Structure 1
Amino acid sequence: MEGMAKVCQLDILLVYEVVLDEVMQFMFPINTLRNMALLQSRTELVSMVDVDLLVSNSLFEWVQDKNNYELLRQGTQSKQVFVLPAFETAPQRNQTKAHHLADAASGMPKAELVGLVQKRLVYQFAVFLFWQGHNSTDYKRWYTSDTPYPIEWHDGYEPWFIIDRRLNPFYDQSFRGYGWNKVTHVANILAQK
């Protein structure tokens, strides 16, 4: 999408790690992989998303509008990040059904997604497990807003976001496994403002 070009290129980098310690086999080097992705990126804007996050079709359509892309580009150049609200499906006994619902939700217009939230089929990500991680996104405002709006950072905030690649500091590689890696990175970005 860089420069709204008609040509898109997907690069796949195969990375593996040899470890001799059994414990380290289960301590995924998440931030090392994020840094490798940053180093491979050739675009002006990057998005910090995890592999298990489905990005909505409506975001893709929104970014294709040149005015919206320019808003992102100018905002990120002035050290802003654009937070992506994240959702998860309600607990289901049938994981296949949950995956189908997630796929459907990622393709829905915003109004339909809000309808799923109202029906309690979809929730703000981690609202029951770690609400501090995404509560600053102000979901109630997002449901009714048609334009980006400012949010206030709070301790524990770990959103997924879009940022200027050149202003995104490298991730702390001492983090392995899961826990506090995104929180620490977001705090680092905030400190660099």
Structure 2
Amino acid sequence: MIHKFNKSDVEPIYPDHDIIIMSDEAHRSQYGLYADNMMKLLPTAARIGFTGTPLLSYDNITERTFGGYISVYDFKRAVEDGATVPLYYENRGAKLDDLQNPEITDEILDAIEAADLDSAQQEKLEKEFEKSIHILTAEPRLRSIAKDFVRHYSDVWTSGKAMFVCLNKVTCVRMYDYVQEYWKEEIKHLKNKLKHRHNKKHKN
């Protein structure tokens, strides 16, 4: 729906009744270019946003756009209610310090979340983060993380599921390919290990 508001030179509408705009996924394009166009068209409308990912906590962009929180159902309560399972974060794999020690800041989150950029803004953003994104998605780093993922979760697979969070779709596809490659190697290794144990047990 938000993409229908793709024109900025429209006459504002002032209806004689209340309009309430309810936005799901309010942490993404709901405060971008199209959202601005929507508010120009409906300047008197009230806005309510729903989000499960209120990122960019340092500038509270979601709250600044939609106002204060009406109700908060956080992850801790969801786990306690049994609505979801616990989430554990492990900072594993290749460290950025080993890759020319780039300065990675919260601005990268801004870049990821920006969904409604015009061509000029996109070009500026790409230039600004070209070096950082290049380092983050370098093949040696992705392969190192994929290898660590396979090694780690071949031992602790009973503890839960794992999830990759990638910068973009292309990186996700690359990570999938690398993981599949190392899974095949790990499966072959484990089969040989089991075969060796079986032969050893049979001899005894």
Q: TM-score, normalised by structure 2?
A: 0.24
| Higher RCO, 1 vs 2 (CA within 8 Å, ≥6 residues apart) | 1
Higher helix content, 1 or 2: 2
Higher strand content, 1 or 2: 1
Q: TM-score, normalised by structure 1?
A: 0.25
Larger radius of gyration: 2
